[in-house]
Every structure is written in C-alpha cells, then in structure tokens.
Chains A and B, each alone.
Chain A
C-alpha cells in the first residue's frame, strides 16, 4: 500500500522569495515519486520525478526536490518564486519495482505568489 501526505494545503510567498512545499510518503516498495502542477483550468503537468537514481532531482521552471528515505520525505523547492508559479501542486507516489504505474495523489498544495 502507498500513501502521500502534503503537509500544507495552502502556501503563500512573495515574488522572489524561496518556495517550500512539503510532502511525506509511505510505500511498501522503493517508490517512484513525482510532483505535478495544475494551473487554473489547465491539465496536470509533470514537474519532476524520482525513480531511485540521484536523490536530488531537478525539474522544469527551476524547481527541484530531494528524496530523503530516512525521513520519508520528498519536499519541493524553488529558490525564487515567480508570479507564474501560482498554481496547485500535487505530490504523487507510484508503485515501485516492476509494478505498474498506478499513481496515488496527495491532497494538493495551493501556492499563492504575491507581488
């Protein structure tokens, strides 16, 4: 069984300041982990993914995430927020090993960026 918990339902930052969106996961297997972003009235877009290679994963638009097995965490960060980053972000866990890729989504974190 697998699950994911996003620790903040809303995060508000000022433009140019760092972003931290927190995620903890639970998985019976060595997990695949993803962050997806959903802009208003748009589809889900993959930001980055971890699949047991490097623990620090770089994604699109300057986002990165660090896999910490000891803390079962996969927090998403960005050094400097941009207005266009305002969206809802989903931490997602997929089955590990050779199991098929059913995804389990967190509840989402809405990121607001103030000018």
Chain B
C-alpha cells in the first residue's frame, strides 16, 4: 500500500527561526512529489518535484527531493507568523493520483 509519512507532526518556533519539514514515501510508480500549504481549508500549491537533487526555491521556501532515499525536505528560513499552517506532502503516481501524508502543523510565535 502506498504510504507518505511526514515529520514532525507539529512544531512551534519563533519568528526568524529556520525550520525543516520532512517527508518520506513508499509509492509504486512514482511520478512527482508535491508540497502544499493548508490554512483554513484549501491546500495551496507550493512546489512540484520530479528530479533528484534539484532544489526548488520560492522566496524563503525551498525544497529538494532524494529519489534514491525516497524523501523530500521543505525548508522555511526567517519564519514569519504568516507561515503558520499545515504543510502537506503528497506523492503522485499514475494518472496523477495523489497520496497525502498527514501533514506537519507549524506554529510561528511572534
């Protein structure tokens, strides 16, 4: 059975801290790995990773994939209170079917 595991389940940091969120997976016929940010209800797309070792960056957020070790990390530098959210990792298999992890709850304190 396909599985995506995220860690930690939750963490609390102070503004300005750097955080690293982890995602490991066991999925047959891997196509891509995606990161989403979920505030309130709708997950919003952050990154899609398909190749190992190539960092994707958007502002203070970056992510990288290791297809040999089957994991990805999401880094957030200089955290702000607006970064408080649930961060979801999902892996896409054939036909773009996504399998999600349970998410990491991030709380940034001012």
Bound together: no
B interface with A by C-beta (< 8 Å) = none
